[in-house]
Amino acid sequence: MPSLARCPFSVHRIGTAKFDSVLATNLRGPFLCLKYQLPQLISRGGGSVVVTSSIGGLVGGARNSDYAASKWGLAGLIKSAALDYAASGIRINAIAPGPTRSEMFDRWIDTEERRVVMAAHAPLNYIAHPDDMARAALFLLSDEARWTTGRVFPYEGGMSIS
């Protein structure tokens, strides 16, 4: 395997401004959402929150340190907040998507050939559609998941199976 020492995404090459920007989006953003949602849910006597994380918050990956750190931190936030608010009747969970078709995904994986290669990394050999993630979130928001809190659910076609 070639050395990543010269890779611009290696930890020692990531600028602190970029690192801070990734954390601001992927960790501080959900924190602020929870901060302002939770008082409303408390006043209503409970409820459910689903946050979007990533497979990057479940497994490590080369060239991904800043993103992975933000998503692993998000998992800690979800688990801790779930414990803090369970007695208030509030469930807090997250979904952790793998590759999912979107405008951003199509900019990064911009040919059908590259999409086929990406899909092959998942045991189910599938790139998810946004409605797959919506179904997962709707389940976690529903009473069908009333016994579930503090979990980060992988929705990634089996990519995190070890």
Domain ranges of the chain: 14-155
Q: Please pick, among 67, 85, 126, 155, the residue that the annotation labels catalytic.
A: 67
Residue 22: which pLDDT band, with cuts at 50, 70 and 90?
very high
CB 110 within 8 A of CB 93: no
Reported as a single tens digit per residue, the pLDDT across 115-159 is 999 899 889 998 999 999 999 999 999 999 999 999 999 999 998
Query: What SS3 string covers 70-124?
Result: HHHHHHHHHHHHHHHHHHHCEEEEEEEECCECCHHHHHHCCCHHHHHHHHHCCCC
pLDDT at 99 over 60: yes
Least Cα distance to 99 among 59, 130, 71, 140 occurs for 130
Q: Which of 7-11, 53-57, 87-91, 114-118 has the highest mean pLDDT?
A: 87-91
**Which tokens hold the place of 117?**
């290669």
Chosen CATH of 14-155 out of 3.40.50.720, 3.40.190.80, 3.40.50.620, 3.30.930.10:
3.40.50.720
pLDDT (0 to 100) of residue 5: 61
Determine whether 67 is an active site residue. Answer: yes
Q: What number is the average pLDDT over the span 27-49?
A: 98
* Residue of 128 and 5 predicted with greater confidence: 128
pLDDT at 51 over 80: yes
